[in-house]
Structure 1
């Protein structure tokens, strides 16, 4: 075990969580990687805080919730690649030289080892069978059971007869019940989240126009990251269960400025002193356009945002919190100004306006209550201005 200096803490956590080889996965998995690299006081607390305050993770992660349902028991395999689960990630943007728009996800139920294969949405049953043969069957053994959904490729006569010759059993999930294929579904969610973090919110993978659709180049690194991450059901990484050791990643390279732990070091007490930093709370001021909106908020779409501590993690540059522009409702947009009047005893004007929606066709609002009316008011006052006539 090695003792880490304060200057390298951010670099180590950044490589374990934010790099392409880390995939922005959960804090539990990152604790294992940080623990294998170095140690410092309060390393667990700072790693968890770093993961929970990640800007990309908070924006890209899906909202999950527990649902009550009956337990579906699937017989667990007794050897690797005996039972697999398959499913597709569809509706992906075209990527690669062959314009792949779908990703086939294959999971080994014994070691939780994933295989991500880019393919096309219109692939036939024969194309899928060839991919399965080249990447799974040719490197392992004949499969005993395949858990799949009721896709037309899987229910075709070619696919059924082909696996009948090999002695492979096809277990189809109940229609509209994805709980049967929950391992593949969860793997698909993780893959979609990792692609979304690097393609939608990762500026290093975007082109000059702000688009990043080349997700095929990320698949090998994302597959390697999942194989080297601890699975909750096994307590080990799929690579450890498959090869007896984890794959070597860039974060595993020795750091030059690390110090070997010495129990008699005189400065050990100074290193153990904890410095507490309080994150600054940012309060966003609402603009005047929000005053005309209904005060009800969609509570189901709100989730807490945890800002990162700039002093604790100086290498992070989170996106600034901004208020999205609020457009005026279509039914309250002004179509035309008709008349103008001044209130008695008050330095205030009211205008007879006509709205686009016939339900609120005419109204006398005050000038201060009319948003975005400068252009229409200038046109209205220009039309009412007396014209100068020149007589020749």
Structure 2
């Protein structure tokens, strides 16, 4: 934190200085109007009202003021925070019976018994992965044919064009894998006389 003095808008409070607070990590900056005569208590009040409410209590304060002034700021901040973060107000009856709650009786809270022993939890069996084949749609036509050797046997395959699909979606399929293969093969052989006797070759 640093103080900037000079011609600044005074306002109703007649401010003549500005307290600059900058965060080392986020680089965020806050400018707080103040007075050059402000003491360590006044600076602690500025922190309490403007900084702690937004950024919580800082772990370290770096200032160009002397260490005594910085230590007084810390002392006043701790006095404002108090000894306890949360003050529990008990009824008069409970205050007489148990004014101090021993730490030894504090137990961790678990939502369920399963969360109490994490390593005893039974890991659920993952669902079976089912691969769904993406069907491109009905067959439009067979384009050509080729003969390959597969598992020691000759087999003919046909590149199939599907309806409403582009050429990059064509697939090489065997005769028994073509939907309505008999119909499309008859049309293909009728349009390609050189493949008229394909069914007789295999």
The TM-score range, normalised by the shorter chain, is 0.3 to 0.5
- Who wins on radius of gyration, i.e. which is larger? 2
Higher RCO (Cα < 8 Å, 6 or more apart):
1
Q: TM-score, normalised by structure 1?
A: 0.19
Q: TM-score, normalised by structure 2?
A: 0.35
Higher strand share: 2
